[in-house]
Amino acid sequence: MKTYFLYDCECGLCHWAVRFFIRTSKSKDLCFSPVYSDFSEKLLDELVEIYDPEDEGAIYVRGDKAYRKSTAILQALADCNAPFSWVSRLLVIPENFRNFLYSAFAKRRMRICKVLHLKCKFPSEIDQSRIF
């Protein structure tokens, strides 16, 4: 079963996350796509999911279920190798609280990218077959 990580493609943090998930995911069936791409739009239409650009955040699609924001990140981490998969235990924290923290972080992500010198592009050696 293919799974998809949809990212906003506006900052180096998102590209860093894609590189991280490519290295640590248990399955080669995890694919990636910018949330504004034709592929992502079609995928979300099939799932009857609506993406609101004002509602910044990642979307993780596993089967016919789409997860958003903090849940998307934690579900994606659950599908990674240990010790990263252990972080998914944070799903027990109420979603509203997790999403509050996620949104606060997302609003500051551009500044974080500048401080960490994260580039908004993929290195040439990345597995392009997993990016749509």
Domain ranges of the chain: 3-130
Residue 119's pLDDT band (cuts 50, 70, 90): low
Quick one: tokens of 45?
């239409």
Does residue 7 or residue 130 have the better pLDDT? 7
pLDDT attached to residue 63: 86
Q: What is the mean pLDDT of the chain?
A: 82
Mean pLDDT calculated for residue range 43-56: 71
CA pair distance 33, 26, nearest whole angstrom: 18
Which pLDDT tens digit goes with each residue over 9-31?
767 777 788 888 888 988 888 88
Residue with tokens 């077959």: 129
